[in-house]
Amino acid sequence: MATASVTKASVEKPVQAQAVEVNAPTRREFLYYIWGASIALILGQATAGLIWFSLPRFKAGEFGGTFTYDAKDIPEAGAAPRNIPAGRFWLSLPADEGFVALYGVCTHLGCLPKWVDTNNRFECPCHGSKFQLNGRYIEGPAPRSLDRFKTRVIFEDGTTADTNDDGDPIPLNGKKIARVEINTGARIRRNGQV
């Protein structure tokens, strides 16, 4: 049995590190650090807020996004239009013209025209502008017809039709609508009074 013998040479004294002297910051240095950190925090928050505000994040079913509706949600041809408050538009199907999604804001001063069944037209309650079922200007101080949204109609046979650049109604040509997709991020401004 071997015993380990400990000699004086194998046991050494621990080496002590030299003491480092740390001075506490002066009052002026402390205030510089606090002010610097505060300014960095404010700039960081402002930058994050600017980026968050400038990047659009439109979701389906929110104004600025795309709304999808089935055929059961679309009014009959020539019937009163259907108001969609969340999208700020009206679903309209004027007889013999086709489908159109009208922006629900008056082109005069931004009031919200309502559909009046007794007169069979849109009437603005603020200044009296009047518009047909297809959004065309009739009379009043409004400078032009109601604006429209880019729309895609998907028919039951699988074919599709999109709104043209002028925003004209999408002709149905005897086909049945399966669903429609309205892009409220793509408004078509109607020029003139047509």
Task: Give a yes or no: residue 169 inside a domain.
Answer: yes
Tens digit of each residue's pLDDT (9 = 90 or more) over 14-64: 788 888 888 888 899 999 999 999 999 999 999 998 888 887 666 555 566
Domain annotation covers residue 7: no
Buried residues in 116-140 as b, exposed as e (16+ CB within 10 A):
eeeeebbbbeeeebbbbbbbbbeeb
What is the number of structural domains in the chain? Answer: 1
Of the pLDDT bands very low, low, confident and very high (cuts 50, 70, 90), residue 2 is low
Find the mean pLDDT for residues 147-168: 85
- Entry pTM: 0.62
Average pLDDT, rounded, for the chain: 82
Write the CATH number for 111. 2.102.10.10
- Mean pLDDT over 80-89 rounds to 83
Is residue 192 scored above 60 in pLDDT? no
Residue range of the domain that includes 114: 66-188
